[in-house]
Structure 1
Amino acid sequence: MSIFAGAVDYFVKGGPCMWPLLMCSFAAIAIGVERYLFYKKAISGEKFASSFCRMMNDFNLVGASELAEQSKGEAAAMAKEILDIKGDLGQRLETIVYTKADRIIDSLEKNINYLSVVIGLSPMLGLLGTITGMISSFNALNERTQNPMAVTAGIGEALITTVFGLCIAIMGMCIHAYLTSKIKTETLNINEVADTLVDIFKANEQSK
């Protein structure tokens, strides 16, 4: 028996609860891939944040603007936009900078809650499959003509759904841990860039 045929056989033996579990696995993988591809474009990285903030603290606004223009990611785009329009912001600078920073962070956290739902739902569906499998086994035992194969099929359904549900939850937790670590790191970078922009422009205003 091939690996694929064996997997299909196990899936069929798992009973009806395997279908929602399969959808959960697809959802977890889809969210992970979508967020990974998004982060590749959206994350500016610690190197940009540290270099940009160093230039800003040295009042090298031209160099900081060029660095932001040459760098990828949402933090770099925000920095470039603020540097280009700083003269027109006036007292609204702080509000605009932090609003943009919050929107970037919100975009990084998009769909993460759905992944948390998958992580919590998968073991519950596995448990539901366990219960339905045990019910099938007890029903087979209660029949006058007891069929040992029906009993073992029910036990097999119970075990397979439990294992499948736990595997999906473990996979989802690994994806969630990776994505949240990316979010936390980039959130620090975004806040550092935003704080530096506000502090430097406030210092410039006070020195005038």
Structure 2
Amino acid sequence: MHHPVLANVIVDLFIKGGPIMWPIAVVTLFAICVFIERVFWWLRFASKRSPKQLEEVYEKLEAGDLAKAIEQSAKSSDPVVRMINHGLNHRHTSMQGALEVAAGQELRDAGRFLSAMDTIVTLAPLLGLLGTVTGIMGSFTSIGSSELAVEKVTGGIGEALIATAAGLGIAIGTLVPMNYFHSRLAALKFDLEAAANNVLILAAQHGFDKVGAKTTN
């Protein structure tokens, strides 16, 4: 029952905000799409994580059973375990390099669109400021005309305030999830680095990183 009223208010504010509201609307739509995509990506990512599988791979490596470690890690959908599998399969060339490449791929996927969100946080207030300038300019133009129209003056000021509020609202609404996604990315980076270091230590203990290393007990 209240939805049509709310929609009318939004449309009214959009119109009163002036022409700058169109690029602001485009930025808003893009921000919403990016937010939804990232939320679903991290939900899928969380469902793939498996600390149990990671511990099982560690146990096989610690026991010196490289073949089992490769077999178990190959069946996992956990990004950290996938990185380990990539490193174990390329141990004869450069295990450390292979781990870094695999970790980089996981971090690249996890950090997707973060730069776009950062751009939105910067761009939205600037668009609002542009709307402020154009609105105030409209008010001064009305004041300088032969017919002083109070409605035009207040309309220009209203346009300036609406555009500024819209720009700041988008920036604030994007900044909070962006910082959250950055924190999740930092946590993933720590997990990948810790796992890579553990694998390199275990590999060095059993000589798995050397050419001709055995793959079975």
TM-score past 0.5 threshold = yes
Tell me the equivalent position of 1:98: 100
Question: TM-score scaled to structure 2, two decimals?
Answer: 0.82
> 2:127 corresponds to which letter in structure 1?
L
RCO higher in structure (CA 8 A, sep ≥6): 1
C-alpha displacement of 1:64 = 5.5
TM-score scaled to structure 1, two decimals? 0.85
Alpha-carbon separation, structure 1, partners of 2:83 and 2:117:
28
Structure 2: runs of 5+ lacking an equivalent: none
Equivalent residue for 1:76? 81
CA contact (8 A) 2:132 2:163 kept: yes
Whether 1:10 aligns to 2:10 is: no
Aligned positions of 1:2-151 closer than 5 A: 2-42=5-45, 45=49, 47=51, 51=55, 55=59, 58-59=62-63, 68=73, 71-83=76-88, 85=89, 89-151=91-153
Runs of 4+ in structure 1 deviating by more than 6 angstroms, as ranges, are none
Q: Tell me the number of residue pairs that the alignment of Structure 1 and Structure 2 aligns.
A: 205
Provide closer, same or farther for how the CA distance between residues 30 and 12 of structure 1 changes in structure 2, counting only shifts above 3 A: same
- Aligned partners of 1:106 and 1:14: how far apart in 2? 38
On the 8 A contact 1:133/1:157 being kept in 2, the answer is yes
Higher mean C-alpha deviation, range 186-195 or range 69-78: 69-78
Q: Which has the higher helix share?
A: 1
1:179 CA displacement: 0.7
- Equivalent residue, structure 1, for 2:164: 162
Structure 1 residues 91-100 or 172-181, which shifts more?
91-100
Per the TM alignment, residue 138 of structure 1 is displaced from its structure 2 partner at its CA by: 0.7
Root-mean-square deviation (Å): 2.7
Give the fraction of aligned pairs with identical amino acids, expressed as a percent. Answer: 24
Deviation at 1:57, TM superposition (A): 6.8
